[in-house]
Chains A and B, each alone.
Chain A
Amino acid sequence: MAQLRYREALNAALREELRRDERVMLMGEDIGVFGGAFKVTEGLLEEFGEKRVRDTPISENTIVGVGVGAAMAGLRPVVELMTINFALLAFDQIVNHAAHIHYMFAGQARVPLVVRMPQGAGHQLGPTHSHCFEALFLHVPGLLVAAPATAADAKGLLKTAIRDENPVIFIEHESLYGVRGDVPDDEERLVHFGRARVAREGSDVTVIGVSRMALTAERAAATLADEHGVSAEVIDPRTLRPLDLDTILASVRKTNRCVIVEEGWPHGGVAANLAALISEQAFDDLDAPVRRVSGADVPMPYSKPLEDIAYPHEPQIVSAVLDTLGVDPGAVAGAGAGAEAGAGRAATSGGDEGAG
């Protein structure tokens, strides 16, 4: 076990898979000489050379399309896009080709391609560099979607993604790159897709957190336990496709209440999708409506105070959990932090509806 930063864990996964499989090669803007905009690929050009670690022109759609073609012809390309917003330039290749080729050609070709990209707010990068688009990719049959929250999962899931036979959208979080965590050294220790991480066991409510929000939800659960005596079970799905719905449903059947937290937008979001699945398959087990806490329904603003209230923080999760439990926050010691801490504009379904 080693203590690695999230970015170092990703780097280790890339390095190990490059060593393990000659067919693995990396492409992306400034991933080589520059070492990667977020330094994830640092040192890889030096070790593996320009044949396998390729700096590309700024041509996102074409870079991904080259990855599609190379994958069809037997390579295992890993494409880095500098931020998730840039993936929108490559949406044609990602959706029309990467996702559909295996199906539309009746299984004759496969596209074992990984497209890595960081998402997330918090660095004042404004409306074109800060979004969370898990839902856009989750929407598309043919794509797999991984969104690790911890260093260990970053490494284990990326290794699985590279070995998977399907196109994988691998969503990293900008705010997590520097976060340390215990990471297994074993190079064959994969984190399989479709297996959720139960980050914290609990009995009163299920809190599902996606990407960074898994960590925010864990902190909220600690507060809920310490200050409100609420036992929250926190689940990080880790991959949205394939989805470990079994673990989620088992938890909901145990706790009978569910709050879903995501950083992305509420309409058509990941939480909306999970809420639908839970309602369809565990309706009789629910004692309260499934509750969502999501990013505000606005393009991401630059100004720090506005940006802060445009994505969920711990107090909103605490507040949503208490609400779904029917607990009046004001009646519980210490609840003021949750209800009034100012970060109340990110959208929560049912209660305060964001900036409207």
Chain B
Amino acid sequence: MAEEPEPAVSREWLQTMTLIRRFEERAGEMYARAKVGGFLHLSIGEEATIVGSARALRDSDYLISTYRSHGHALVRGTPPENVMAELFGRVDGCSGGRGGSMHMFDISRRFMGGYGIVGGNLPIAAGLALACDYQGTDDVTLCVFGDGASNQGTFGETLNLAALWKLPVVFMVTNNQFGMGTALSRHSAVTDLQRKGESLGVPGMRCDGMDVLDTYRVVCEAIARVREQRCPLLVEAVTYRFRGHSMADPEQYRSKEEVAQWRQRDPIPAFGDRLVAEGVVDADARGQIDAEAIARVDAAVQFAEASPFPPAESLYDDVYLLDPGSTGSYSVRTTDPQANARGESPRSLHDGDNSEIPQQMSEALAHGEDSG
């Protein structure tokens, strides 16, 4: 069982939850102002689940998430500037403007990505865990997904495989009560999600995902067991998303009363109140934490605004790592940016000359080194 966090640790949790909240609110505003394109899935309401679970990891452990992953990048320490720049599609985004909201990534912090396919990250998590075992480390992988993903084939397949191969993965189902707009009881025959892995050899645990301390304690215990026993566990974090599934969600599938009821359990005021009651922070400090988060998010927006869009000539970067031994054509360039900029009709080129992409070439020459 995890010990009570030190006051400084508690403060940091409150700071990070507040940062995620303020970031998400501002991201929503930026979306409304068309600064952010595509889909935007906010995790407002789920901050305790995010912070409590991620803080149970050590730095060398892997975290892998879903399309609702801004908070996971932030909790791992990716600067909000780079997360916001990714939403803006800018070159300084944490995925270089290639991924957008659903595909955050920060390999330097072992945040192994947001993934847009529901349940798609589970097998990858098992692969990360397999590599840890193979390489002889005792690192573990925390794999986060939603209640909707527990119905995907990859859920059953991966839990079975992970149990069979004794892979060190904590599968954490963030049960926010809805698979998009379909309520848990309408999409899953078994609604006690912590039990959903039992027949696959994966025991379950549950935490109160609205309580950062409870989440932390339960996930700490899960991680300790997984690290020690080299076997997977399933943790159900019971939480609620206060906003719609995405920004384009009229929320006809739930009542305002239901949302209001859950909002009374808002994890950030709840934890703040608790810290005040325990004398860890006073009202001033609490206000300052909020002001700092807002200022940081302001800075992130300014940074994202100032960051350039990726240049047209980068369109073909990082499709392939070119092999110096190959003389063949990797890509058919029907959209040569230069040609289009000159108003010429699209044409096919074949790039037999690898030297035209020196950046990729240099990566290719690193052939044989470990990834990342």
By a CB distance below 8 angstroms, the chain A residues around B127 are 65-73, 77
Given A70-B127, A74-B370, A105-B98, decide whether A93 and B323 contact each other with a Cβ distance below 8 A.
no
**Is B321 a contact of A243 with CB atoms below 8 Å?**
no
Whether, in the assembled complex, B130 has its beta carbon less than 8 Å from a beta carbon of chain A, the answer is yes
Say yes or no: B99 contacts A104, CB within 8 Å.
yes
A142 and B131 in contact (CB under 8 A), knowing A92-B120, A107-B96, A245-B352? Answer: no
A75: chain B residues within 8 A (beta carbon): 130-131, 134-135
Residues of A within 8 A of B332 (CB): 277
Q: List, in ascending order, chain B residues with CB within 8 A of A242's CB.
A: 323, 326-330
| Chain B, range 314-329, C-beta contacts under 8 Å to A | 317-321, 323, 325-329
A272 to chain B, nearest CB (A): 13
CB of B154 within 8 A of CB of A62, answer yes
Is the interface on chain A under 10, 10 to 19, 20 to 34, or 35 or more residues? 35 or more
In the bound complex, residues from chain B placing their C-beta under 8 Å from that of A102 are 318-321
A74–B135 CA distance with the chains assembled, in angstroms = 9
A243–B328 CB distance below 8 A:
yes
- Stretch with Cβ within 8 A of A (4 or more), from B39-47, B109-117, B226-234, B254-262: B109-117
Residues 178-198 of chain B, each 1 if its beta carbon lies under 8 Å from chain A, else 0: 000000000000000000000
Report the count of interface residues on B (CB-CB < 8 A).
63
A112 B126 Cβ-Cβ under 8 A: no
A107, closest chain B residue (CB): B318
CA distance A56 to B319 in the complex (A): 30
**Stretch touching chain B among A187-195, A222-230, A346-354:** A187-195
Contact partners of B115 in chain A: CB under 8 A = 96-97
**Least distance between A235 CB and chain B CB atoms (Å):** 13
Q: Is A244 close to B, CB under 8 A? A: yes
How close is A52's CB to chain B, nearest CB, in angstroms?
A: 8
Question: Cα distance A163–B350 when bound, in Å?
Answer: 24
Report whether B321 and A110 are in contact in the complex, using a CB–CB cutoff of 8 Å: yes
- Report if A62-B117 is in contact (Cβ < 8 Å); known contacts: A69-B127, A105-B98, A142-B320: no
Which of A25, A69, A71, A144 has most B Cβ within 10 Å? Answer: A69
* A101 to B95 alpha-carbon distance, docked (Å): 10
Would you call B131 and A70 a contact (CB within 8 A)? Answer: yes
Pick from B96, B158, B160, B371: contact of A73, CB below 8 A: B371
User: Chain B at the A interface: mostly helix, strand, loop or mixed?
Assistant: loop
B128 within 8 A of A: yes
The answer to whether A246 touches B352 (Cβ under 8 A) is yes
Other-chain contact of B367, A66, A73, A142, A165 (Cβ < 8 Å):
A165
Min CB gap A176→B, angstroms: 22
Q: How far is the CA of A65 from the CA of B123 in the complex (A)?
A: 5
The distance in angstroms between the C-alpha atoms of A63 and B76, with both chains bound, is 28
Task: Kindly list chain B residues whose C-beta atoms are within 8 Å of the C-beta of A108.
Answer: 95, 105-107, 372
Task: Write out the residue numbers on chain B whose beta carbons fall within 8 Å of the beta carbon of A67.
Answer: 127
Contact pick for B321, options A57, A64, A166, A280, CB 8 Å? A166
Residues on A with C-beta less than 8 A from B160 are 57, 59
A195 to B127, CA, bound (A): 32
Report the minimum CB–CB distance from B136 to chain A (whole Å): 10
Known contacts being A61-B154, A245-B329, is A25 close to B352, with CB within 8 Å?
no
CB distance from B162 to the nearest CB of A (A): 9
Q: Is A70 a contact partner of B319 (Cβ separation < 8 A)?
A: no
Given contacts A69-B124, A75-B131, A195-B327, is CB(A106)–CB(B161) below 8 Å? no
Give CA–CA (A258, B106) in the complex, Å: 48
Complex Cα–Cα for A190 and B321 (A): 18
- B320 A65 Cβ-Cβ under 8 A: no
**Could you tell me if A239 and B96 are in contact, using CB atoms closer than 8 angstroms?**
no
Q: Are A65 and B96 in contact (CB under 8 A)?
A: no
Known: A165-B364, A194-B326. A56 touches B117 (CB 8 A): no
Distance of A242 Cα from B126 Cα, bound (Å):
30
CA distance A192 to B354 in the complex (A): 14
CB-CB contacts of B313-351 with A at 8 A, as 1s and 0s? 000011111010111111110000000000000011010
| Residue contact B319 to A281, C-beta cutoff 8 Å | no
Contact A61 B325 (CB under 8 A): no
Q: Is A316 an interface residue (CB 8 A)?
A: no
A345 within 8 A of B: no
Q: Are A193 and B367 in contact (CB under 8 A)?
A: no
Chain B positions within 8 Å of A142 at CB level: 319-320
The B-contacting residues of A in range 117-166, CB under 8 angstroms, are 141-142, 144, 160, 163-166
The answer to whether B299 has its CB under 8 Å from any CB of chain A is no
B-side contacts of A54, CB under 8 Å? 165
Chain A residues positioned under 8 Å from B326 (CB to CB):
192-195, 242
Question: Taking A71-B127, A92-B117, A102-B318 as contacts, is the C-beta distance between A245 and B371 under 8 angstroms?
Answer: no
Which residues of A sit under 8 angstroms from B157, Cβ to Cβ? 57, 59, 61-62
B122: Cβ under 8 A from any A Cβ: yes
The chain A residue sitting closest to B99, CB to CB, is A104
Q: Of B106, B122, B320, B325, which one neighbours A192 at CB under 8 angstroms?
A: B325
Residue of chain B at shortest CB distance from A111 = B371
* B325 near A160: Cβ-Cβ < 8 Å: yes
Q: Are B135 and A56 in contact (CB under 8 A)?
A: no
B132 within 8 A of A: yes
B153 within 8 Å of A (CB atoms): yes
Complex CA gap A139/B135 in Å reads 34
Q: A108-B105, A192-B325, A239-B328 are in contact. Are A72 and B371 (CB under 8 A)?
A: yes
Q: Name the B residues within 8 Å of A96 (CB-CB).
A: 115-117, 120
Q: Which B residues lie within 8 Å of A166 (CB)?
A: 320-321
B295 at the interface (CB under 8 A from A): no
Extra contacts, 20 of them, besides A25-B134, A108-B95, A192-B323 (Cβ < 8 A), are A54-B165, A57-B161, A62-B158, A69-B112, A70-B130, A70-B134, A72-B372, A73-B372, A92-B117, A105-B98, A110-B371, A165-B364, A193-B326, A194-B323, A195-B327, A242-B323, A242-B326, A242-B330, A244-B327, A277-B350
Residues of chain A whose beta carbon lies under 8 Å from any beta carbon of chain B: 23, 25, 51, 54, 56-57, 59, 61-75, 77, 92-93, 96-97, 101-110, 112, 141-142, 144, 160, 163-166, 190, 192-195, 239, 241-246, 277, 280-281
Complex A-B: 9 CB contacts under 8 Å: A57-B157, A70-B127, A73-B128, A93-B124, A103-B318, A105-B95, A163-B367, A193-B326, A246-B352
Q: Which residues of B contact A (CB under 8 A)?
A: 62, 93, 95-99, 103, 105-107, 112-113, 115-117, 120, 122-132, 134-135, 153-154, 157-158, 160-161, 164-165, 317-321, 323, 325-332, 347-348, 350, 352, 363-364, 367-368, 370-372
